[in-house]
Amino acid sequence: MPFFLLQIAVNNAENYLPIVLQIIFTLGLVATIIIGSDALGPKRKGTDKLKNFESGIEIQGNARQPMAIKYFLVAILFVLFDVEVIFFYPYAVNFRELGWEGFAAVLLFVGSFLAGFIYIFKKGALKWEE
């Protein structure tokens, strides 16, 4: 085996020194910024400063009221299907290199994607009338 291949295969603590230095520097910078902003920043407290801010609108009622679960269900379904669509990007970038095997994998992915969509549609998760 050639010598240069042996050097690449060796893994020791020396190889991790730049990463450890970066982590130490980052933690030190974050601590310095937080402590510095607390020490040098203004400290004005008053009734207006401590009052809840609702985009300039006066607060009306209690925010802890029951809400229809439909809003949360649609939000979760949106995130689920939105994240699944993101997985099409790597295929679109590399579709020539992936060939027919990649195409079959994408068809399988789209099939499971459509099966999930049909399932939630048949369960009535997208009906607003109820």
Establish if 88 belongs to a structural domain: yes
For all residues of the chain together, what is the average pLDDT?
A: 81
Average pLDDT in the 65-89 region?
80
- Residue-level pLDDT at 2: 57
Model confidence over 10-35: pLDDT tens digits?
A: 677 788 888 999 999 999 999 999 99
- Residue-level pLDDT at 33: 96
pTM > 0.75: yes or no: no
Establish if 129 belongs to a structural domain: no
73-90 per-residue burial string, b: 16 or more CB within 10 A, e: under 16: eeeeeeeeeeeeeeeeee
Domain containing 107 equals 3-122
Establish if 99 belongs to a structural domain: yes
Model confidence over 114-124: pLDDT tens digits?
A: 898 899 888 88
What is the number of structural domains in the chain? Answer: 1
CATH at residue 32: 1.20.58
